[in-house]
């Protein structure tokens, strides 16, 4: 399992745990309202000063902290807000239940304060859920690499970094050669296994800070930060040679495959879609020349296209 697949599985597990915690909280909220409306005896746990740690939702929230989830800056703010709102809900609930038990009438303002905190609590939960769901939707389910929907965001981030640091970046479009024939010969199931194996191969042979996306059936895109076009061309040609020489053990069969690669410098002067069109054009040239090649595309001011591995 790739690190990205591991992250995907961990996010899915967190989402399931969150769903269960919300269900427990909903049960608690219904019981609390019943106690107020029907003037039932309050549960001892709801009257404790640390009631927010005793409920099932509080147990989940504490486990999130123990697991170090708050170090994840993407949702640290939401978790902190949820924690504050959750404690406030229990504090106000204790006050209301204690007042009721003493025979004191409940001011509407106190209950309004409870509902306001509950609303803020629900909003925080919704943002956290949406964040976790967006992470799941960003991953290609078959191969475990990033999917096409994440390309524009990642390249936009890289262009912003380039403009700030004046460091280069290149992108590469890879297309597996004759993959339809591979599927016809070996079947789609084995074709899917090959796609997963190739994605793992690309991830393992590129640098740890490079990003791999699956953008089509047998098409991949690489974002190569801090690499000018010459450096990227050498890197990708080395990847091409390694892939062509590799035999994947799929269901006991040693199977090989090659790919055509197009490489361009990521240029902030172009829109992202234009950059993607440029790199796809380079890949099509490599495929048109027979496949198992790298075409490094240089724009007019950079010189002529150059090919590796011809």
Ranking 32-46, 177-191, 258-272 by mean pLDDT, the lowest is 32-46
How many other C-beta atoms are found inside a 10 Å radius of the C-beta of residue 267? 17
Mean pLDDT of 123-146: 84
Domain shared by 9 and 59, yes or no: yes
Q: Give the model's pLDDT for residue 70.
A: 46
For residue 5, name the pLDDT band (cuts at 50, 70, 90). low
Distances (CA, A) of 123 to 111, 116, 117, 152: 19, 11, 10, 28
CA 207 – CA 216 distance, rounded (Å)? 22
Domain shared by 289 and 184, yes or no: yes
Domain shared by 192 and 73, yes or no: no
Task: Decide if pLDDT at 68 tops 60.
Answer: no
Domain boundary pick from 83, 111, 137: 137
Domain shared by 106 and 150, yes or no: no
Task: Decide if pLDDT at 211 tops 80.
Answer: yes
Task: Decide if pLDDT at 66 tops 70.
Answer: no
State how far Cα 67 lies from the chain centre.
19
Domain shared by 88 and 202, yes or no: no
Q: Is 258 left (phi over 0), alpha (psi -120 to 50) or beta?
A: beta
Whole-number average pLDDT of the chain: 88
Mean pLDDT of 248-269: 95
Model confidence pLDDT, tens digit, residues 218-243: 999 999 999 999 999 999 999 999 99
Domain shared by 213 and 290, yes or no: yes
Task: Decide if pLDDT at 100 tops 70.
Answer: yes
Domain shared by 201 and 120, yes or no: no
CA 293 – CA 291 distance, rounded (Å)? 5
240, 308 in Cβ contact below 8 A?
yes
Q: Give the model's pLDDT for residue 94.
A: 94
For residue 67, name the pLDDT band (cuts at 50, 70, 90). low
Domain shared by 23 and 123, yes or no: yes
CA 288 – CA 176 distance, rounded (Å)? 13
Q: Give the model's pLDDT for residue 136.
A: 76
Q: Give the model's pLDDT for residue 16.
A: 81
Domain holding 105: CATH number? 1.20.120.30
Higher pLDDT, 194 or 304: 194
Domain shared by 10 and 77, yes or no: yes
Q: Give the model's pLDDT for residue 96.
A: 93
Domain boundary pick from 102, 137, 172: 137
Model confidence pLDDT, tens digit, residues 24-65: 898 999 999 989 888 888 889 899 999 999 899 999 888 876
Q: State the residue range of the domain holding 223.
A: 146-308
Domain holding 304: CATH number? 3.30.70.270
Domain count within the chain = 2
Domain shared by 150 and 285, yes or no: yes
Express as a percent the part of the chain with pLDDT over 90.
60
Domain shared by 133 and 159, yes or no: no
């Amino acid at each position: 399992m790739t690190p990205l697949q591991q992250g995907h599985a961990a996010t899915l597990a967190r989402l399931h745990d969150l769903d269960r915690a919300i269900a427990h909280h909903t049960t608690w909220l219904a019981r609390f309202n019943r106690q107020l409306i029907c003037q039932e005896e309050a549960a001892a746990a709801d009257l404790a000063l640390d009631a927010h740690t005793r409920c099932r939702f509080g147990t989940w929230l504490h486990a999130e902290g123990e697991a170090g989830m708050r170090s994840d800056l993407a949702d640290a703010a939401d978790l902190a807000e949820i924690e504050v709102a959750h404690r406030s809900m229990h504090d106000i609930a204790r006050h209301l239940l204690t007042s009721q038990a003493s025979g004191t009438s409940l001011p509407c303002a106190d209950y309004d304060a409870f509902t306001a905190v509950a609303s803020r609590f629900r909003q925080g939960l919704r943002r956290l859920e949406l964040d976790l769901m967006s992470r799941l939707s960003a991953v290609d389910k078959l191969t475990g690499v990033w999917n096409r929907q994440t390309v524009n965001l990642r390249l936009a981030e890289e262009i912003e970094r380039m403009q700030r640091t004046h460091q280069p970046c290149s992108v590469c479009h890879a297309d597996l050669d004759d993959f339809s024939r591979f599927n016809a010969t070996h079947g789609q199931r084995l074709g899917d296994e090959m796609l997963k194996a190739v994605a793992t191969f690309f991830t393992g042979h590129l640098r740890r800070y490079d990003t791999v996306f699956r953008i089509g059936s047998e098409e991949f895109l690489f974002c190569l930060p801090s690499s000018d076009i010459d450096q990227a061309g050498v890197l990708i040609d080395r990847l091409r040679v390694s892939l062509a020489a590799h035999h994947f053990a799929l269901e006991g069969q040693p199977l090989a495959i090659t790919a055509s690669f197009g490489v361009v410098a990521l240029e902030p002067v172009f829109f992202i879609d234009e950059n993607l069109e440029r790199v796809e054009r380079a890949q099509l040239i490599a495929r048109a020349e027979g496949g198992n090649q790298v075409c490094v595309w240089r724009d007019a001011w950079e010189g002529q296209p150059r090919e590796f591995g011809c």
